[in-house]
Amino acid sequence: MSEITVAEVDVRRVRDQIVDVREDGEVAEGMIPGAIHMPLGQLASRAGELDRERPVVTVCRSGKRSARAAEELAAAGFQADTMGGGMIAWQNAGLPTS
């Protein structure tokens, strides 16, 4: 697991699985287009919905929860990275949300 930048995620989002681990109220403020909403508390039970053959990038508000999520997914056999700075950094960079 490594921490990657918002610019790297912007490039990788067309081929990788972006997993947003924030809660419902937080994602209402906007998500990375194409991201999969999977709150951290549901990650273990829903990880089977993800494609093990494709890399995963986890995202949260600031980067703390997504780092835990990436570690959890990596332990389960996924190639998982986390986006440094979270959605705060994404939005500060002026990148699109849906």
Tell which residue, 85, 83, 24, 74, has the closest CA to residue 50.
74
Instruction: Count CB neighbours of 61 within 10 A.
Output: 19
- Is-catalytic flag, 60? yes
The catalytic position among 60, 67, 80, 87 is 60
Are the C-beta atoms of 21 and 39 separated by less than 8 Å?
Answer: yes
Are the C-beta atoms of 25 and 68 separated by less than 8 Å?
Answer: no
Catalytic residues: 60
